[in-house]
């Protein structure tokens, strides 16, 4: 038995949800480039959960179901007020809150298809409220109830700020949600599938997935990218900052990928949005710095930017707090997690790989007084 470090190159399951072939990402056979330009996030959610695009009445029904399920139990809101609020990272709060709302769902342990589908809707609906309510409560503000006539992207921005978002902000945010929704067997999706393959419930699967997404090598990278841009501060500092990092063999957040070689197809959409939004906000420096970083890192290391690199300046331009970037990734990716959880349940087998043992061999127990 020889281990593949990081399971590189291992095909661990079959899936009909999304695929990455030759650096092209598709959801159920639809190219991400097509969806990014044309689809609403709700259509993508339906696509991932049903493996087909919705008809208009089906889309209207899903939107209604999401709107009807956005409220979260009061004890969850009260819970947020008990945290040492300035120290808690919103991803930790989100991980805890998803687990907590499971306690208030009477059907949490019901494994019927119908109950699991209802849980999918509840989770997708409530995660937007959790992230926005936590963000407001930690600033001493009251959470804002969703507006049932707004789409998912607009509602998120509305609940975050209490103001009706501009069309351009909704368009950009919707696109970001579409681009982050699913990504084959990425680390957090694999985590979700491993968890529910034991026939554990959906809340456990999503809670586990959030834990995996939180790390800086996965979803946590977008926050780190913004931290780096703030630290660099201006275009003229880019060159020395990045070269020093590369000389010290440090990783540059937002670059590299386990699967893509030529480039992450999602990055170009985010780059375009970053250019548009930073210009509109009079903060072109973040786009210009990002471009400069890209040219150095690709030139020196042949590493193209991934989804997290330009999403940082996009979210910053939408006035979103930097530590909410990764929770927003979760708000979108939960659609993919849920699709994979439902797929896992539909054709389940316990996921239990092997380890190549490299420890000492044939040891004999020595009584404690003789060690």
Residue 125 CB, nearest approach to ligand COA (Å) = 26
Site for ligand COA, residues 339 to 358, rule: CB under 6 A: none
Quote the CA–CA distance of 135 and 140 in Å, as a whole number.
9
Quote the CA–CA distance of 76 and 96 in Å, as a whole number.
10
Q: In what order do the strands lie in the sheet with 18-21?
A: 18-21, 24-27, 30-31
Judged by beta carbon, residue 156 or residue 255, the one nearer ligand COA is: 255
User: Please, what is the Cα angle at 177 between 20 and 186, to 5 degrees?
Assistant: 35
Quote the CA–CA distance of 310 and 332 in Å, as a whole number.
16
Residue 254 CB, nearest approach to ligand COA (Å) = 5
Judged by beta carbon, residue 252 or residue 273, the one nearer ligand COA is: 252
Residue 255 CB, nearest approach to ligand COA (Å) = 4
Contact pattern from residue 6 through residue 25 relative to ligand COA, giving x for each residue in contact according to CB under 6 A and a dash for the rest:
x-------------------
Beta strands in the chain (DSSP E): 18-21, 24-27, 30-31
Judged by beta carbon, residue 101 or residue 192, the one nearer ligand COA is: 192
Site for ligand COA, residues 188 to 217, rule: CB under 6 A: 217
Residue 286 CB, nearest approach to ligand COA (Å) = 17
SS3 251: coil
Name the catalytic one among 180, 182, 308, 316.
308
Q: Which tokens is 40 given?
A: 């609403």
Contact pattern from residue 51 through residue 80 relative to ligand COA, giving x for each residue in contact according to CB under 6 A and a dash for the rest:
------------------------------
Residue matched to tokens 């930690």: 138
Report yes or no: 331 and 209 within 8 Å, Cβ to Cβ.
no
Residue 303 CB, nearest approach to ligand COA (Å) = 5
Count of CA atoms in the C-beta half-sphere (13 A) of 22: 1
Give the number of other Cβ atoms within 10 Å of residue 350's Cβ: 8
Residue 257 is a catalytic residue:
yes
Q: Which tokens is 183 given?
A: 């990504």
Binding of residue 227 to ligand COA (CB under 6 A): no
Report yes or no: 109 and 201 within 8 Å, Cβ to Cβ.
yes
Count residues near ligand COA (CB under 6 A): 17
Return all residues near 103 (Cβ < 8 A) that are at least 6 apart.
none
Residue 253 CB, nearest approach to ligand COA (Å) = 5
Which member of 221, 273, 318, 331 binds ligand COA (CB under 6 A)?
221
Q: How far is CA 160 from the centre of its chain?
A: 18
Judged by beta carbon, residue 257 or residue 281, the one nearer ligand COA is: 257
Residue 30 CB, nearest approach to ligand COA (Å) = 21
Quote the CA–CA distance of 117 and 54 in Å, as a whole number.
16
Judged by beta carbon, residue 196 or residue 253, the one nearer ligand COA is: 253
User: Please, what is the Cα angle at 350 between 348 and 352, to 5 degrees?
Assistant: 145
Site for ligand COA, residues 241 to 280, rule: CB under 6 A: 251-258
Q: Which tokens is 102 given?
A: 């499971």
Report yes or no: 21 and 346 within 8 Å, Cβ to Cβ.
no
Judged by beta carbon, residue 28 or residue 303, the one nearer ligand COA is: 303
Site for ligand COA, residues 77 to 106, rule: CB under 6 A: none
Report which DSSP code applies to 16: S
Quote the CA–CA distance of 78 and 204 in Å, as a whole number.
22
Q: Which tokens is 265 given?
A: 């197809």
Q: Which residue of the chain is nearest ligand COA when measured via CB?
A: 256
Contact pattern from residue 282 through residue 321 relative to ligand COA, giving x for each residue in contact according to CB under 6 A and a dash for the rest:
-------------------x-x--xxx-------------
Name the catalytic one among 257, 321, 322, 323.
257
Judged by beta carbon, residue 54 or residue 304, the one nearer ligand COA is: 304
Catalytic residues: 257, 308
Contact residues for ligand COA (CB under 6 A)? Answer: 6, 217-218, 221, 251-258, 301, 303, 306-308
């Amino acid at each position: 038995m020889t281990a593949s470090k990081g399971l590189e190159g291992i095909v661990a399951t079959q899936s009909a949800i999304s695929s990455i072939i030759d650096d092209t990402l598709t959801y159920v056979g639809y190219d991400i480039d097509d969806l990014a330009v044309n689809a609403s996030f709700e259509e993508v959610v339906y696509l991932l959960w049903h493996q087909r695009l919705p008809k208009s009445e089906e889309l209207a029904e899903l939107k209604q179901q999401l709107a009807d399920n956005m409220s979260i139990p009061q004890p969850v809101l009260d819970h947020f007020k008990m945290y040492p609020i300035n120290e808690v990272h919103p991803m930790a709060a989100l991980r805890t809150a998803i687990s907590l709302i499971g306690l208030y769902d009477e059907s949490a342990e019901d494994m019927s298809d119908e109950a699991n589908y209802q849980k999918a809707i509840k989770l997708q609906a409530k995660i937007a409220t959790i992230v926005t309510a936590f963000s407001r409560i930690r600033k001493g503000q009251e959470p804002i109830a969703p507006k049932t006539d707004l789409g998912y992207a607009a509602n998120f921005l509305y609940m975050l700020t209490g103001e009706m978002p501009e069309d351009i902000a909704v368009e950009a945010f919707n696109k970001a949600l579409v681009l982050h929704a699913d990504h084959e067997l990425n680390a957090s999706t694999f985590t979700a599938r491993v968890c529910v393959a034991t026939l554990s419930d959906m809340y456990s699967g999503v809670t586990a997935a959030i834990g995996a997404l939180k790390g800086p090598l996965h979803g946590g990278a977008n926050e780190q990218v913004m931290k780096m841009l703030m630290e660099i501060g201006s275009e003229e500092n880019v060159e020395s900052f990045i070269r020093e990092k590369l000389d010290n063999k440090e990783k540059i957040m937002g670059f590299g990928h386990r699967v893509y070689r030529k480039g992450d197809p999602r990055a170009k959409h985010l780059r375009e949005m970053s250019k548009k939004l930073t210009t509109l906000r009079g903060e072109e420096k973040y786009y210009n710095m990002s471009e400069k970083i890209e040219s150095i890192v690709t030139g020196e290391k042949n590493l193209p930017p991934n989804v997290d690199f330009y999403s940082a300046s996009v979210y910053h331009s939408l006035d979103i707090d930097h530590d909410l970037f990764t929770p927003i990734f979760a708000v979108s990716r939960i659609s993919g997690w849920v699709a994979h959880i439902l797929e896992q349940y539909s054709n389940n087998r316990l996921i239990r790989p092997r380890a190549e043992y490299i420890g000492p061999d044939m040891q004999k127990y020595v009584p404690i007084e003789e060690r």
